[in-house]
């Protein structure tokens, strides 16, 4: 494990002095990081990133050519979102137990597993986060469902942050495949009102048809969150208001604006 930490946290392209006696990363390690489609990152208790693979970098910055090493969570997300993640990171470090966590990052629903890393005395305590897109609860196997012990209170909606609560509901129902008439009946609204919301969604999200809107809704996991009653837009809690233990899976999920531009 210590060798893996060294490989992860050595900047690519660094000189031999920076690498010390560390051997180059084996090809299977590159395959695990880049070929699985997972978002991988290493962060310390203070919220500073020590590593992010290409997929994670692309998700957070829009390009895999950028470097996130040295960035802090507050540089990438809102204060409320960063505070919640730091709380979970601290929990993993304090308990040394892995934590599987359901969240939304840049408008993408993800299932994140955090694990404390065993490094050497020259490194701060680190947490490895490995996540993958979370499309719907029906895609989970039994062991994954059993491992989910927390759901986000604050989510990073990314491009969806400009939507109203009603637009989020309409978008989620489009993602479920409902027609305009079915959505109108579900929400007790007229078909004309639903069509107005659909037009507004297409304009805000630059989607030209219902199929594209459905894809956005599925990617964000909106159907699951609405089914669980997690899509409220209450004012995010301050960091001090968070409980210090891990919140149960039935907690409310709040939307927050995206963090500073990258």
Task: Establish if 249 belongs to a structural domain.
Answer: no
232 — pLDDT class (breaks 50, 70, 90): very low
How far apart CA 55 and CA 70 sit, in angstroms, is 17
Mean pLDDT (whole number) for 75-95: 93
Task: Establish if 38 belongs to a structural domain.
Answer: yes
Domain limits for position 183: 159-219
180 plus 63 within the same structural domain:
no
171 plus 63 within the same structural domain:
no
39 plus 119 within the same structural domain:
yes
The structural domain count of the chain equals 2
100 plus 200 within the same structural domain:
no
How far apart CA 81 and CA 105 sit, in angstroms, is 10
Is the pLDDT reported for residue 239 higher than 70? Answer: no
Mean pLDDT (whole number) for 35-64: 91
10 plus 131 within the same structural domain:
yes
Is the pLDDT reported for residue 40 higher than 80? Answer: yes
Task: Establish if 258 belongs to a structural domain.
Answer: no
Tell which of 124, 152, 180 closes a domain. Answer: 152
**Mean pLDDT (the chain, rounded):** 77
Task: Establish if 171 belongs to a structural domain.
Answer: yes
Mean pLDDT (whole number) for 207-212: 94
Instruction: Provide long-range contacts, Cβ within 8 A and 24+ apart, for 56-63.
Output: 59/105, 59/106, 59/108, 60/105, 60/106, 60/262, 61/262, 62/262
14 plus 133 within the same structural domain:
yes
Task: Establish if 144 belongs to a structural domain.
Answer: yes
19 plus 117 within the same structural domain:
yes
How far apart CA 155 and CA 164 sit, in angstroms, is 15
Percent over 90 (pLDDT), the chain: 47
Task: Establish if 190 belongs to a structural domain.
Answer: yes
Which range, of 69-78, 112-121, 198-207, 227-236, averages the lowest pLDDT? 227-236
């Amino acid at each position: 494990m210590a060798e893996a930490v060294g490989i992860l946290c050595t900047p690519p392209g660094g000189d031999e002095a920076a690498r010390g006696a560390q051997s180059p990363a084996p090809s299977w390690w590159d395959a695990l990081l880049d070929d699985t489609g997972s978002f991988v990152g290493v962060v310390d208790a203070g919220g500073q990133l020590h590593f992010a693979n290409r997929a994670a970098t692309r998700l957070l910055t829009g390009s895999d050519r950028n470097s996130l090493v040295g960035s802090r969570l507050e540089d990438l997300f809102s204060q409320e979102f960063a505070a919640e993640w730091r709380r979970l990171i601290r929990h993993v470090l304090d308990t040394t137990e892995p934590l599987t966590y359901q969240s939304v990052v840049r408008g993408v629903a993800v299932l994140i597993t955090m694990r404390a890393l065993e490094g050497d005395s020259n490194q701060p305590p680190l947490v490895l986060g490995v996540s993958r897109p979370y499309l719907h609860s029906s895609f989970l196997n039994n062991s994954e469902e059993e491992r989910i012990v927390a759901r986000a209170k604050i989510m990073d909606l990314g491009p969806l942050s400009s939507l109203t609560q009603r637009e989020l509901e309409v978008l989620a129902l489009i993602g479920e495949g409902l027609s305009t008439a079915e959505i109108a009946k579900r929400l007790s609204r007229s078909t004309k009102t639903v069509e107005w919301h659909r037009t507004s969604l297409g304009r805000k999200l630059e989607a030209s048809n219902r199929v594209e809107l459905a894809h956005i809704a599925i990617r964000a996991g909106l159907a699951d969150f609405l089914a669980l009653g997690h899509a409220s837009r209450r004012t995010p809690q301050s960091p001090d208001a968070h409980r210090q233990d891990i919140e149960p899976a039935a907690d409310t999920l709040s939307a927050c604006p995206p963090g500073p531009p990258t």
